[in-house]
A and B are shown apart, each in its own frame.
Chain A
Amino acid sequence: MDPKSAELLSFFQENTLWQFFSRTWDRTEAIDGIFAAILKLQRGETLPRETLIEKAFYADAAVTYQQLTAKFSWLPGLSAVEAAEVFGATKAELVDIVLTKSKNEELSAELY
């Protein structure tokens, strides 16, 4: 993994709780929703905030993006293509850790 993605991965692992929601479905939903929202913020786009779930993604993404730009000075200078690559690699590794290769036996337990 490239160094920038590795730095982001370390930040996400240490600081965000939504990656660790209890079930496979809500981990997937949170990771997809918040990563997409962060990328839009990085591109300077306005996020929709009509529904409750859109507001929730916005809130997590906006504050996380503030933290990321404060910590990583190289982040605001990334082009849209570069940002997509860096965040894409980060997200892929995060999904590998908390979903695909997770050893958490409860993630898909039917009686949870």
Chain B
Amino acid sequence: MPLTLLKCDETIPERKNHVYIKAPGEDTRNALPLANTDTIPGSLSERGCSFCGAKLVIGGVLKDTIQMIHGPVGCAYDTWHTKRYPSDNDNFQLKYAWSTNVKEKNVVFGAEKLLKQSMLEAFREMPDIKRMIVYTTCTTALIGDDPKAVAKAVCDELPDVDIFVVECPGFAGVSQSKGHHVLNIGWINEKVGTLEPTITSDYTINFIGDYNIQGDTFVLADYFHRMGIQVIAHFTGNETYDALRTMHRAQLNVVNCARSAGYIANELKKRYGIPRMDIDSWGFEYCQVALRKIGAFFGIEDRAEKVIAEEVAKYKEKLDWYKERLAGKKVCIWTGGPRLWHWTKAMEDDLGMKVVGMSSKFGHQEDFEKVIARGDDGAIYINDGNELEFFEVLEMVKPDLVLTGPRVGALVKKLHLPYVNGHAYHNGPYMGFVGSYNMARDMYNAINSPLMKLAAIDLREAA
């Protein structure tokens, strides 16, 4: 079946170009959903804004950096504490939120003075912190504030600080994806190459596109440490501002999330000649392939095999226990974009599950090329899905489990369907070998929990 108009979309027929059901023998030459385009008026999108893509996804992960959000306080509050990315320095980045708290009078008279005062105050209150990212928001972009000029003035007053400005208000693009793009390009233009790293190994990489959700970075860093590989910069899980300035000195860019950070990998390749190796760091089998490729790059295949053997010995039997019990279960994956293609085949190969529906909030057509190539015939692929479409698809495919974020998860729970948090995880980490096991356990627990069946009972009738 080609691109499909769902019944709920009869009044917004443009949605037909965003929904695809894969037919046997078809590939992406036959059809490819539109993606990274404006949300169609009338469609209740689940997308986030472009500022959120820069701050919540990438910049806000840094563990030693003040995140100064120049706008109304809600922009700071809504991008604080909603993603669980810890750090090894007592979670500095999760404890605090910073905002210039712009009010109506600042809109009328300008907010640059307020921004400067806020930046100086933040550095004064946190004297050990010397790094800051400043973000514009819709309000302060519209009134024409010049945060780069303010940042320069602050740097002139405080010569020991370094400041990066992200000019990506919420309306800058169609989704959070624009924020990824703006931060990536801004960072490589202004910061990469401004500091030299201390090299401690003959084998150096940047790990790009992992944000330490519930400790993913800690898992991967352990594997690299055991292989004797130095991670020059981890973009951006559990990372420091200054480490990201030294990315130009790595020998290899290992890329997991190509959607949020493929841009900087491409630029590092073009400008510094560092090759890009895309891998899947979710998935039991995928992880073995990834470590083998990194080992082969450096000629340390034996070290990779040692780590793989140790991890497989620890987790394979446990994973197989879940595989026996999860095989044949039907799953929907409704996440941002890349997890569709990272997870669909991994869940089928590792656990025998069947992915029947996938929806991406901010994926581009590149992401749909990947997921359609990897996904099953008969599966439904949706770009920028809306709530009514979710209801209709659930009725069509009747999944045993939905992997999605808490927002859509609330909808799913009201239908008494098992749900696992596919964004910030239930009990992660989900990356690496241990992560595959954790994810299988959480899915098994969700599917087999009696809670959803109990929730469906109307106590008035029972009485």
Q: How many pairs, one residue from A and one from B, have CB atoms within 8 Å of each other in the complex?
A: 94
Task: Tell me whether A58 and B278 are in contact in the complex, defined as CB-CB below 8 angstroms, given that A13-B27, A20-B369 are known contacts.
Answer: no
Task: Tell me whether A22 and B266 are in contact in the complex, defined as CB-CB below 8 angstroms, given that A17-B279, A103-B29, A106-B36 are known contacts.
Answer: yes
A18 within 8 A of B: yes
Asked if B293 and A103 sit within 8 Å, CB to CB, the answer is no
Task: Pick the most buried of A52, A62, A63, A67: most chain B CB atoms within 10 A of its CB.
Answer: A63
A97 within 8 A of B: yes
Instruction: Mark interface residues in A51-66 (1 if CB within 8 Å of B CB, else 0).
Output: 0110110111011001
Asked if B366 and A104 sit within 8 Å, CB to CB, the answer is yes
Write the chain B residue with the least CB distance to A101. B29
Chain B stretch 335-381: residues in CB contact (< 8 A) with chain A: 345, 364-366, 369-370, 373-374
What chain B residues lie within 8 Å of A66 (beta carbons)?
292
A102 within 8 A of B: yes
Chain A interface bracket (under 10, 10 to 19, 20 to 34, 35 or more) = 20 to 34
Chain B stretch 235-289: residues in CB contact (< 8 A) with chain A: 251-252, 258, 262-263, 266, 269, 273-280, 289
What chain B residues lie within 8 Å of A55 (beta carbons)?
251-252, 275, 297-298
Write the chain A residue with the least CB distance to B36. A106
What chain B residues lie within 8 Å of A21 (beta carbons)?
262, 266, 276, 278
A58 to B277 CA separation, bound complex (whole angstroms): 11
A26 within 8 A of B: yes
Asked if B278 and A52 sit within 8 Å, CB to CB, the answer is no
A66 to B295 CA separation, bound complex (whole angstroms): 14
Asked if B289 and A13 sit within 8 Å, CB to CB, the answer is no
What chain A residues lie within 8 Å of B298 (beta carbons)?
55
What chain B residues lie within 8 Å of A63 (beta carbons)?
289, 292-293, 296
A63 to B277 CA separation, bound complex (whole angstroms): 12
B319 within 8 A of A: no
Q: How far is the CB of B334 from chain A (nearest CB, A)?
A: 21
A71 within 8 A of B: no
Asked if A59 and B373 sit within 8 Å, CB to CB, the answer is no
Asked if B29 and A60 sit within 8 Å, CB to CB, the answer is no
What chain B residues lie within 8 Å of A67 (beta carbons)?
289
A98 within 8 A of B: yes
Asked if A106 and B366 sit within 8 Å, CB to CB, the answer is yes
Which residue of the partner chain, among B258, B273, B294, B299, contacts A22 with CB atoms under 8 Å?
B258
B200 within 8 A of A: no
Asked if A59 and B294 sit within 8 Å, CB to CB, the answer is yes
Chain B interface bracket (under 10, 10 to 19, 20 to 34, 35 or more) = 35 or more
A97 to B370 CA separation, bound complex (whole angstroms): 12
Q: How far is the CB of A19 from chain B (nearest CB, A)?
A: 8
Chain B stretch 174-226: residues in CB contact (< 8 A) with chain A: none
A101 to B32 CA separation, bound complex (whole angstroms): 11
Asked if B280 and A52 sit within 8 Å, CB to CB, the answer is no
Write the chain A residue with the least CB distance to B345. A14
Write the chain B residue with the least CB distance to A54. B275
A105 within 8 A of B: yes
A21 to B269 CA separation, bound complex (whole angstroms): 12
Chain B stretch 280-320: residues in CB contact (< 8 A) with chain A: 280, 289, 292-294, 296-299
Q: How far is the CB of B253 from chain A (nearest CB, A)?
A: 9
A59 to B295 CA separation, bound complex (whole angstroms): 8
A70 to B420 CA separation, bound complex (whole angstroms): 34
Q: How far is the CB of A7 from chain B (nearest CB, A)?
A: 15
Nearest 9 interchain pairs by C-beta: A56-B275, A17-B278, A59-B296, A59-B297, A103-B32, A13-B373, A104-B365, A101-B29, A63-B292
Taking Cβ atoms with an 8 Å cutoff, the residues of A that contact B are 13-15, 17-18, 20-23, 26, 49, 52-53, 55-56, 58-60, 62-63, 66-67, 96-98, 101-106
Taking Cβ atoms with an 8 Å cutoff, the residues of B that contact A are 27-29, 31-32, 36, 251-252, 258, 262-263, 266, 269, 273-280, 289, 292-294, 296-299, 345, 364-366, 369-370, 373-374
Q: A17-B279, A59-B297 are in contact. List 11 more A-B contacts (CB 8 A).
A: A17-B278, A17-B280, A22-B258, A22-B263, A53-B275, A55-B251, A55-B297, A56-B252, A60-B277, A63-B289, A98-B369
